[in-house]
Structure formats: structure tokens, C-alpha cells
Amino acid sequence: MNENIKPETSFASLSASENLSRAKRERKRTPLLVATQNIGKFSEIEEVLRPLPLNLYHLKLEDFSGYLKDDHFEEHGQTFEENAELKAMHYHELIGMPTIGEDSGIIVDALAGELGVKTRRWGAGEKATDEEWIEYFMNIMKDVPEEKRTARFVCAAAFMNGEGEVAMFRGQTEGVITRTLEAPLRPGIPLSSCFRPAGKDKVYSALSEQEKNTISHRGKAFHELKDFITEVYGF
């Protein structure tokens, strides 16, 4: 990850405008908040955006703990796009820097209407460990025949700039759910161990980060976002 915010330059005591100006002045790179506490997601996003002169921050950084102490944001949108925009707006207002809100999930044809925007909250629940969640999911899918194991991952990414303007990007990847876990679980993204994208002979988690990001739902959305940021900021 890019260098963390140093204690002496903590954002906690600064106003929203001071957050942005001080970060730019001291690092000569554009600060950008990725509004997630999911380190697995952040790692994939960082891999795509790494070539740009950005300082990327996520919500698990110690310097943001004061902001998040009483934070009760809930994803109540009906679509991935709604959730992504709501998240970007919320954390842009809370922390005061350009922000990316992301929402993603899987749509499984055999479980129509059960996952989607509710993916992580579905089944074993959002408080379940990755192991508990995927065990529940694989048990539900165990008797589903091959022809009904089709699925698609969807990602929506909302970029909100310093003026509060929003740009939306979407990526989607078709594939199938394998009968067994075909790669070790990656923290925060357990479904990557049983989702095999169309045209590939490996599940997401068995692909290299670079290869996955060229075909994945999140990679597609964030490559478009990367091109947009490059043009807007003149990188």
C-alpha cells in the first residue's frame, strides 16, 4: 500500500478543506479515499490505480478512527450503483477528500434474487467469517446441476471529486460456480475461490492479480475509473 498518513499530519484535527490542501502540499500526490474496510477489495483496487500519482487511503487506517467511531453507514440502495454513490457521498462528507465508493456482489442464476446487493449479508450473514460464509454458500449450491451454476459478478464504482461531483463506472464478468473451492480463500473475497470466469480454466483466486484485474468485474470498473481520473487530473 502507498505510505500511510503519518501521526504528525493526522487528518483528525483538520477541516475538510484543510485535509485536501495539506495532503497535497506535503505529499505532492493526489489523495484519494477508497471507502472500504475490506482489505481484499482495497488490494485489487490499488493494483489497478497504482500507476497514477495517487495516495490511496482505506477506512481501516488509524487516522480515520475518530471519524468512524460513531459512523453507522448502511447500504440501503436497491442497486449496486445506488450503494456505491451513497457510500462515496457519505465518506466524502465525513472525511473531506475525493472518494471512491464501491459496491459489488454476485448474481447466481440458481438463487435468483437472493444475493446481488445483499451478497455479503446473505446466508451466514455479514458477521460470519469468510470460512463460515463460503461453507454456507457451497452447501446451498451442492445439489445445483452444472447447467444452472451460471453466475455473474457485478461491480459499481462511484468517484466523487473535491467539489462533490460524481462519475459512475460499472464492470461485469460472467462465469460459473465450481463444485469445490479451487484455490485458498482470499481475505474479504471468499467467492473468488469458487467463481471461474468464462473462458478461463482457473477460479478468480488462482489467477495472478494482474491477470484477474484484466477480466474481473472490479478490474473492468476500475480501469474505466482510472482512465477517467487520468483525463480529469491531467496525469
Q: What is the DSSP letter of 169?
A: E
Distance CA 45, CA 186 (A): 15
Name every residue whose Cβ is closer than 8 Å to that of residue 233 and which is 6 or more positions away in sequence: 30, 52
Is residue 103 part of the annotated active site? The answer reads: yes
Q: Which of 63, 70, 103, 130 is catalytic?
A: 103
Please name which of 218, 225, 175 lies closest in space to residue 196, comparing C-alpha atoms: 175
Beta bridge partners of 173: 153
Distance CA 208, CA 204 (A): 8
Distance CA 41, CA 43 (A): 5
Name every residue whose Cβ is closer than 8 Å to that of residue 179 and which is 6 or more positions away in sequence: 141, 142
**C-alpha of 54 from chain center:** 17
Cell of 148: 444452472
Distance CA 8, CA 1 (A): 19
Active site residues: 103
